[in-house]
Amino acid sequence: MAIPIQDQALAAVLGTAVGVQHMVGPDGKVLGRFVPEPRPGMSFPEFGVTDEELARELADPNTKWVTPEQVMARLREIDQCTR
Compare 27 and 49 and report the one with higher pLDDT. Answer: 27
Q: Quick check: 48 and 18 in contact, CB under 8 A?
A: yes
Q: How far apart are CA 70 and CA 78, in angstroms?
A: 12
SS3 21: strand
Q: Distance between alpha carbon 7 and the CA centroid of its chain, in Å?
A: 25
E strand or H helix at 24: strand 21-24
Name the DSSP letter for residue 32. E
Q: Is the pLDDT of residue 69 over 90?
A: yes
Could you tell me the pTM of the whole model? 0.51
pLDDT per position as a tens digit, 73-82: 999 999 988 7
**pLDDT digit string, tens, across residues 30-66:** 999 998 887 888 888 778 788 999 899 999 999 899 9
pLDDT of amino acid 11: 92
Cβ partners under 8 Å of residue 18, min gap 6: 36, 42, 45, 48
